[in-house]
Amino acid sequence: MPNDDPTAYKPITWNPIFEMGHSAIDDDHRSLIEKTNTLLEMIAVDSGIESGRIISLVQVMREECYQHFASEEQVMKTLSFAGVNEHVKEHRRVEEVIDGFLDRLRELPEWGTEFREHVLAFRMCLLDHMLRYDLKYKSHFMNEAGY
């Protein structure tokens, strides 16, 4: 396997600590994590994978991310989260990363190490946003929900 780090392909198990206290946002995050795990399963095999199948899944995840970011921003505004502007900027940055990543996947002539490395970088970017950056508004949401 080209990536020697065994944890790179490890599926992410949903943990209650990931919950933001807002069911629609939690559902979006769960769905994106499930799809990320499917993506990891697909790239963990050494051969016989069609790059087109992976690109299709990443395309679906891209649409989901865009929709999720828009609804998350709406919720942040509704709940008067002070860090909304900074978070919106971060969403735009992640969207650029995702679009650039998809472009690079489409340009690659065939499935191989480079393709796999791009997929792992995409996974890293998504998880970093959902499991670290999004947690910044968790306490605010919890307060608003009366926890």
The two three-digit tokens of residue 81, written as one number: 């989260």
Interface with Fe ion includes 137 (CB under 5 A)? no
Interface with Fe ion includes 140 (CB under 5 A)? no
For residue 106, the tally of other CB atoms under 10 A from its CB is 12
Q: Which residue has the tokens 């502007």?
A: 85
Residue nearest to Fe ion (CB): 134
Distance CA 82, CA 84 (A): 6
Q: Which is nearer to Fe ion, 29 or 116 (CB)?
A: 29
The two three-digit tokens of residue 54, written as one number: 């992976």
Q: What is the CA radius of gyration of the chain?
A: 16
Q: Which is nearer to Fe ion, 62 or 104 (CB)?
A: 62
Task: Count the site residues for Fe ion by CB under 5 A.
Answer: 2
CB of residue 72 vs Fe ion: minimum separation in angstroms? 5
Interface with Fe ion includes 134 (CB under 5 A)? yes
Q: Which is nearer to Fe ion, 95 or 117 (CB)?
A: 95
CB of residue 81 vs Fe ion: minimum separation in angstroms? 11
Distance CA 41, CA 80 (A): 39
Q: Give contact residues for Fe ion (rule: CB under 5 A).
A: 72, 134
